[in-house]
Amino acid sequence: MKLNHEKGAPPLYFQIENILKEKIEKGEYAYGEVLPSEKQLQELYDVSRVTVRQAVSSLVNAGYLQSSQGIGTTVIFEEKIDEKLKRVISFSEEMEQHGIKMETSYCDITLEKADKWIASKLNIKEGDEAYKLVRVRSAKAAPIVYSITYLKKNYDLPLDPRQYMKSLYNLLESQYGVKIVKGQDTFEATLADKEIGRYLNISAGSPVFKRTRKTTNQENELVEYAVCYYPGDKYKYSVEL
């Protein structure tokens, strides 16, 4: 495969990086597949080993590849889950629509006294009790979302984490007759702190997608306030206008 050697053309390593990146994104080099060796890439693009290493190193830093001694360079890029916003649905339903098997890898629920911040989000008095549900939802054995959900103590919810391993919305509707009918989502890009990194199995400082959500039931009563963090390389949202 010939590269552009003309004057003013992008550096050779950059051209190779973009070619490999495109092949990975198109699935020509699939997730888990071992990339051709440095020698093979040298011969394929007729460049030096230094040029190949620079291109591969850039893709490693970008999260497309992973180099392991004795194994080689493996593709770790997966196409982002693209959630199209049309109505309020649970994470479980999101994954079902994408044909992805979901699991809850961590779950904890407690009943706490609301501080000033939570009280303002749930429209309750400071010191009133509220439920705090912390979960990590995973797909394909990889953490996809770390969420902290606060719920008003309008219902006698169980403090057994096993009850929240699946859809919270289904639990509320089937057991308490509470149907989530409307929601307001806010999105922003941010960086993971140590806690977020620990739950999502990423390094502190990695880009994450933050979503905050307020939902109301069929009586137009506020039900939950949730803060969710998604790894920036695995998730994206589309809005139909």
pLDDT tens-place string over residues 155-182: 899 999 999 998 899 899 999 999 888 8
pLDDT at 84: 47
For the sheet containing 129-139, what is the strand order?
A: 102-113, 129-139, 142-152, 222-231, 207-217, 180-191
Distance CA 36, CA 28 (A): 12
The closest alpha carbon to 64, from 2, 19, 4, belongs to: 19
Where residue 82 falls among pLDDT bands split at 50, 70, 90?
very low
Q: How far is CA 55 from the centre of its chain?
A: 26
Distance CA 108, CA 165 (A): 10
Q: 97 or 134: whose pLDDT is higher? A: 134
Residue 1 has pLDDT above 90, yes or no: no
Average pLDDT, the chain: 85
Q: How far is CA 197 from the centre of its chain?
A: 12
SS3 82: strand
Query: What is this structure's pTM?
Result: 0.62
Backbone angles phi, psi at 6, to 5 degrees: -70, 155
Cα–Cα distances (Å) from 71 to 123, 201, 211, in that order, read 55, 22, 37
**CB of 151 closer than 8 Å to CB of 224:** yes
pLDDT at 126: 94
Residue 81 has pLDDT above 80, yes or no: no
The closest alpha carbon to 12, from 4, 23, 20, belongs to: 4
Radius of gyration of the chain (CA): 23
pLDDT at 98: 53
The closest alpha carbon to 46, from 9, 15, 25, belongs to: 15
Average pLDDT score over residue span 9-14: 90
Distance CA 66, CA 75 (A): 6
SS3 223: strand
Distance CA 240, CA 156 (A): 37
pLDDT at 139: 78
Instruction: Name the CA dihedral angle for 25, 86, 209, 159, rounded to a multiple of 10 degrees.
Output: -120
Q: 141 or 155: whose pLDDT is higher? A: 155
Q: How far is CA 144 from the centre of its chain?
A: 4
Strand partners, 187: 211
Residue 94 has pLDDT above 70, yes or no: no
Average pLDDT score over residue span 139-145: 82
pLDDT at 157: 94
